[in-house]
A and B are shown apart, each in its own frame.
Chain A
């Protein structure tokens, strides 16, 4: 459904952040993009959604196709109209607007008011806490509620695919579970997901395929099961030792092993 082929991206015309990324997201699938800070995960998503351009960045090489058509030259608003939405990192609600206004703005491209209403009720049904907060100012919602709101707002556009950036960032473990339960339900309804996460454990629970990024490159890929059992992933991303025990911080000072991939 979404195909990235050798994509290169730069910021400010000099800083090369993506050095040839290729990845593939099948229809109805859920793919996780993993990696540490500064690996280029968020930039990859911004290249796809076109949001890299207002940040003074550009896709300088390779191509991005969505449903068989090139989208790397399209402005962000045209990408959304094709059914590909980007939920940005950091719970970017429209702070001074109410919950309901946030959601309505998400569905602004649909002319039919009845259809917008219907989508709105569907979002409230999927995320019942929001239904009780309709008239609340979005900036004052709790972190979990805001995360739900931005997901709900993206759903109002009736997307076929969602790019979602760090939905677990800064949330309590219980809320992370709640958000992931929502994502799982969306998957079950046929929404294709490309998920960027630092919370590798949570991401590999829901994803069926994963890519690991480092330094603007993809250094590893595999099915979720493969990644989960990979020694390096276990050690560096899941913090487990060989036998599957949680690693004690006491042992970390003896840490000598190096990653086996070339970054």
Chain B
């Protein structure tokens, strides 16, 4: 029973880490309608920036981390300036293709700047687990889960209630309509990438805390994709539930199926979930349904 509880809680919390990473992705989608294939690279970028500011330069964490956030935001703006600002008005598909290019480019840039060797990632949250009776719960995952929930609720409110958020929602609906309403699509896209990069940095801190960092950490970007698909690409609040579903399913598979089937089921399972979603409910649980009028 205790085992089951541990798997359940751990799965749920890891699901929230996925949800946090997926949030960076959804925010970009939600404010620009661009499907960002380079989400994993943004996480690696965040990871390296934190490593660079905290371990590389030896600054204390409370200075280094805000600096890393600022640098991530700056990179987001630079990405918009260089790649997206001249694509406004072109087909959305070309913007999406740019993110594929960005994936390759960023990976190359990381290798040039930071090299291929594995580096230790700073321990921002103490590794000592929280002990509740017989349960050992990782502190960083717990804090990560809390951050995810707070960020999801906050961003949901932002996109549905505030004027600035509604403006971006309008851009996600349709670039041309947004322009006709006097909304600057460029500014919205810039803000999307800024926010996406910062959220990815938060995600990197939670995900990589006390582990090691190399450019291969970008795999998490694809691992988080099923969560975004299940929630529906437009829904930020839905990420929490989707993260729970995917995380718990994965945790259970790791605990009970992997030993029977020789491992690997838990890694594949989220993607099986993703394919099933695409079959039966392509808009996810809370995404925007295609409105067709007859």
Interchain nearest-CB distance for A195 vs B (Å): 16
Instruction: Count residues on chain B whose CB falls below 8 Å from chain A CBs.
Output: 25
Is the Cβ of A97 less than 8 Å from the Cβ of B88? no
- Which stretch, A22-30, A74-82, A252-260, touches the partner chain B? A74-82
Q: Which residues on the B side are within 8 Å of A81 (C-beta)?
A: 182
Question: Is the C-beta of B291 less than 8 angstroms from some C-beta in chain A?
Answer: yes
Q: Mark A91-130, 1 if CB is under 8 A from B, else 0.
A: 0101111000100111011000000100000000000000
Question: Is the C-beta of B94 less than 8 angstroms from some C-beta in chain A?
Answer: no
Q: A49-B180, A80-B181, A139-B291 are in contact. Are A97 and B166 (CB under 8 A)?
A: yes
Max count, chain A CB within 10 A of own CB: residue among B169, B177, B180, B234: B180
Q: A55-B89, A77-B183, A104-B163 are in contact. Are A94 and B170 (CB under 8 A)?
A: yes
Q: Which residues on the A side are within 8 Å of B169 (C-beta)?
A: 94, 97, 101, 105
Is the Cβ of B181 less than 8 Å from the Cβ of A51? no
Q: Which residues on the A side are within 8 Å of B175 (C-beta)?
A: 54
Instruction: Count residues on chain A whose CB falls below 8 Å from chain B CBs.
Output: 34
Is the Cβ of A108 less than 8 Å from the Cβ of B183? yes
Q: Could you write out 21 A-B pairs with CB less than 8 Å apart? A: A51-B179, A54-B88, A54-B176, A55-B176, A77-B179, A80-B180, A85-B180, A87-B180, A92-B180, A94-B177, A96-B288, A96-B289, A97-B166, A97-B169, A105-B163, A105-B169, A105-B181, A108-B164, A108-B182, A157-B181, A157-B182
Residue numbers of B with Cβ under 8 A of A are 88-89, 160, 163-164, 166-167, 169-170, 173-177, 179-184, 234, 288-289, 291, 293
Q: A76-B180, A77-B183, A157-B181 are in contact. Are A105 and B170 (CB under 8 A)?
A: yes
Interchain nearest-CB distance for B238 vs A (Å): 14
Bound-state Cα–Cα, A75 to B289, Å:
31
Question: Is the C-beta of A41 less than 8 angstroms from some C-beta in chain B?
Answer: no
Q: Which residues on the B side are within 8 Å of A108 (C-beta)?
A: 163-164, 166-167, 181-183
Is the Cβ of A54 less than 8 Å from the Cβ of B89? yes
Is the Cβ of A88 less than 8 Å from the Cβ of B89? no
- Write the chain B residue with the least CB distance to A146: B293
Question: Is the C-beta of A217 less than 8 angstroms from some C-beta in chain B?
Answer: no
Interchain nearest-CB distance for A162 vs B (Å): 12
Q: Which residues on the B side are within 8 Å of A101 (C-beta)?
A: 160, 166, 169
Max count, chain A CB within 10 A of own CB: residue among B166, B183, B184, B293: B166
Interchain nearest-CB distance for A95 vs B (Å): 5
Chain A residues numbered 29-78 whose CB sits less than 8 Å from any CB in chain B: 49-51, 53-56, 75-77
- Write the chain A residue with the least CB distance to B170: A105
Question: Is the C-beta of A209 less than 8 angstroms from some C-beta in chain B?
Answer: no
Bound-state Cα–Cα, A88 to B175, Å:
13
Bound-state Cα–Cα, A189 to B290, Å:
38
- Candidates A77, A87, A92, A140; contact of B174 at CB < 8 Å: A92
Q: Which residues on the A side are within 8 Å of B166 (C-beta)?
A: 97, 101, 104-105, 108
- Candidates A51, A56, A96, A140; contact of B180 at CB < 8 Å: A51
Q: Which residues on the A side are within 8 Å of B234 (C-beta)?
A: 96
Q: Which residues on the A side are within 8 Å of B177 (C-beta)?
A: 88, 92, 94
Bound-state Cα–Cα, A79 to B166, Å:
20
Bound-state Cα–Cα, A76 to B182, Å:
6
- Write the chain B residue with the least CB distance to A92: B177
Is the Cβ of A96 less than 8 Å from the Cβ of B291? yes
Q: A54-B89, A54-B176, A55-B89 are in contact. Are A97 and B182 (CB under 8 A)?
A: no
- Candidates B88, B164, B181, B291; contact of A95 at CB < 8 Å: B291
